[in-house]
Chains A and B, each alone.
Chain A
């Protein structure tokens, strides 16, 4: 399994491949490969969606992305 950290200024749900899966600022365990990532709630962030390719991560060294 692989690990993703979605950084955001507040606590929001993370939407991965159209499904709610985990929270911002926490490490999310998921299957490797390509994923579409966005946030739940009000669309007050940029970019509105990010496509990431995740591999060779670990829980202490996750793939990091940020929404602002």
Chain B
């Protein structure tokens, strides 16, 4: 009898110890404070001309990987594969087109491929399929939820489903790498991972520029945590929370923000961006930032590139005459829901309406983002051409004064890839019907990867770019 009572007490003590141990681990990963403000260091979009790299500035290539779960991750992986297999000649050097990619902006499913390539480079072609694409991540996450060892942790208000997802990605995909690892690779491309600020609805970029405003150090932050925030689909996963710390004593508000705040009448977009950035400095009103799926604010990741073109490093690369050819490839894994609701006389139910109200805005915004980027680069080309024509006419008239030259001239190329452009309608229909999920059959993964190659092979813009970058050799130089 005494033995039984002792045994029972020991079991309870053991259980209590286990619970306390698990409770101690029941808190989400918190971003760390910034010891001092250093605008020249940290994980920031590198200024063209200021990095030593085999990758040239003159051919500046950026990729935008959309959201869409494993479908988007596999499609963007297929595009990377095609770029690796494409040889070009630039400034007399024969190189792989992939080695000229300067930045990748990734959202949700696309952020897995972007982050993995940023961290591990060409290793992605050896192990990304078994480590991510071919896995049933959804079931793995579900088993984590069912594991009784996780229940005490999940009972804590500071530990949630999203934290289990971070642990899974950190352990099995991203090898516990942080943004410091991305800095120390010292190689392009620069990777921009995005989430959505649940309070303001604005895009949130995992860059030191954004973390500066939170008084926080991005270098120690796990890449897996950023990818989890980027792919935190509403209702399925909970938000990722960041602490908004007081600024270090030497912090100075960047001039583009202070000037942007006074630019309401000059450029409303610039002003709006500055206001949202400045909001993070209101520490008393916003001591925390809650982040969800990046797709809620920009499902194709193009807005970061648009800002970089309007007033960021891409703009400066152009004006400083460093960027000659600007190539932007949008890898959009959008699908078509086959419009089931229009075939039913009964009004859609609550879940259908909730789903549609989220995704309608996303798709409209994505379409507008691509067209805005195309308009912006076209306008730039028109301005360059108009000025050149004006000056050549003035020259013909022997005019004394020509118009001053424009700082920098670029040749922009925008390439938009999506499943609607697949040449085979049956394959297009199949790809457009694939669900947004973190588990797809092997055959679907194969087809998505192949779609990356096939769409680039059938893109007139891409083919004309490749022809231009592989000029026919002169007889004496032909191999």
> Which B residues form the contact surface with A (CB < 8 A)?
47, 254-256, 259-260, 262-267, 269-271, 310-311, 315-316, 318-321, 376, 379-380, 383, 386-387, 390, 403-408
- Which partner residue on chain A sits nearest B49 by CB separation? A20
Q: How far is the CB of A24 from chain B (nearest CB, A)?
A: 10
A–B pairs, 11, beta carbons within 8 Å: A20-B320, A26-B406, A30-B319, A31-B267, A31-B310, A32-B267, A33-B260, A34-B263, A36-B259, A59-B386, A60-B403
A-B contact sample (9 more), CB < 8 A, given A19-B316, A29-B315, A31-B311: A1-B383, A22-B320, A27-B406, A27-B407, A32-B263, A33-B264, A33-B265, A34-B260, A34-B263
Q: How far is the CA of A1 from the CA of B406 in the complex (A)?
A: 13
Q: Say yes or no: A29 contacts B320, CB within 8 Å.
A: no
The 8 Å CB contact of B255, one of A2, A36, A55, is A36
The 8 Å CB contact of B259, one of A5, A23, A25, A35, is A35
- Which partner residue on chain A sits nearest B271 by CB separation? A33
Q: Say yes or no: B407 contacts A22, CB within 8 Å.
A: yes
Interface residues on A, range: 20 to 34
- Which partner residue on chain A sits nearest B313 by CB separation? A19
Q: How far is the CA of A25 from the CA of B265 in the complex (A)?
A: 26
Q: A22-B408, A31-B267 are in contact. Are A59 and B320 (CB under 8 A)?
A: no
A-side contacts of B266, CB under 8 Å: 2, 31-34, 53-55
Q: How far is the CA of A22 from the CA of B409 in the complex (A)?
A: 11
- Which partner residue on chain A sits nearest B262 by CB separation? A34
Q: Say yes or no: A31 contacts B406, CB within 8 Å.
A: no
B-side contacts of A32, CB under 8 Å: 263, 266-267, 270
Q: Say yes or no: A33 contacts B319, CB within 8 Å.
A: no
Q: How far is the CA of A33 from the CA of B379 in the complex (A)?
A: 19
Chain B contact surface mostly: helix
B-side contacts of A30, CB under 8 Å: 311, 315, 319
Q: Say yes or no: B407 contacts A33, CB within 8 Å.
A: no
- Which partner residue on chain A sits nearest B273 by CB separation? A31
Chain A contact surface mostly: strand
Q: A33-B262, A33-B263, A60-B390 are in contact. Are A28 and B254 (CB under 8 A)?
A: no
Q: How far is the CA of A36 from the CA of B269 in the complex (A)?
A: 18
Q: How far is the CA of A35 from the CA of B316 in the complex (A)?
A: 14
A-side contacts of B407, CB under 8 Å: 21-23, 26-29
A-side contacts of B387, CB under 8 Å: 27, 59-60
Q: Say yes or no: B265 contacts A29, CB within 8 Å.
A: no
Q: How far is the CA of A54 from the CA of B263 in the complex (A)?
A: 9
Q: How far is the CB of A15 from chain B (nearest CB, A)?
A: 10
Q: How far is the CA of A19 from the CA of B316 in the complex (A)?
A: 8
The 8 Å CB contact of B319, one of A17, A21, A35, is A21
Q: How far is the CA of A17 from the CA of B261 in the complex (A)?
A: 13
A-side contacts of B408, CB under 8 Å: 22
B-side contacts of A51, CB under 8 Å: 259
Q: How far is the CB of A12 from chain B (nearest CB, A)?
A: 12
A-side contacts of B380, CB under 8 Å: 1, 29
Q: Say yes or no: A26 contacts B404, CB within 8 Å.
A: yes
Q: How far is the CB of A34 from chain B (nearest CB, A)?
A: 4
Q: Say yes or no: B403 contacts A28, CB within 8 Å.
A: no
Q: How far is the CB of A22 from chain B (nearest CB, A)?
A: 4
User: What are the 5 closest A-B residue pairs judged by CB atoms, nearest first?
Assistant: A33-B263, A33-B266, A22-B407, A32-B267, A22-B319
Q: How far is the CB of A3 from chain B (nearest CB, A)?
A: 8
Q: Say yes or no: B406 contacts A17, CB within 8 Å.
A: no
Q: How far is the CA of A42 from the CA of B263 in the complex (A)?
A: 30
Q: How far is the CA of A33 from the CA of B263 in the complex (A)?
A: 4
Q: How far is the CA of A1 from the CA of B311 in the complex (A)?
A: 10
Q: How far is the CB of B272 from chain A (nearest CB, A)?
A: 11
Q: How far is the CA of A20 from the CA of B315 in the complex (A)?
A: 10
Q: How far is the CB of A17 from chain B (nearest CB, A)?
A: 4
Q: How far is the CA of A31 from the CA of B311 in the complex (A)?
A: 6
Q: Say yes or no: A17 contacts B315, CB within 8 Å.
A: no
- Which partner residue on chain A sits nearest B260 by CB separation? A33
Q: Say yes or no: B310 contacts A19, CB within 8 Å.
A: no
Chain A CB count within 10 A is highest, among B263, B387, B403, B404, for B404
Q: Say yes or no: A18 contacts B254, CB within 8 Å.
A: yes
Q: How far is the CA of A18 from the CA of B254 in the complex (A)?
A: 8
The 8 Å CB contact of B379, one of A1, A13, A23, A28, is A1
Q: How far is the CB of A9 from chain B (nearest CB, A)?
A: 15
Q: How far is the CB of B221 from chain A (nearest CB, A)?
A: 25
Q: How far is the CA of A28 from the CA of B387 in the complex (A)?
A: 13
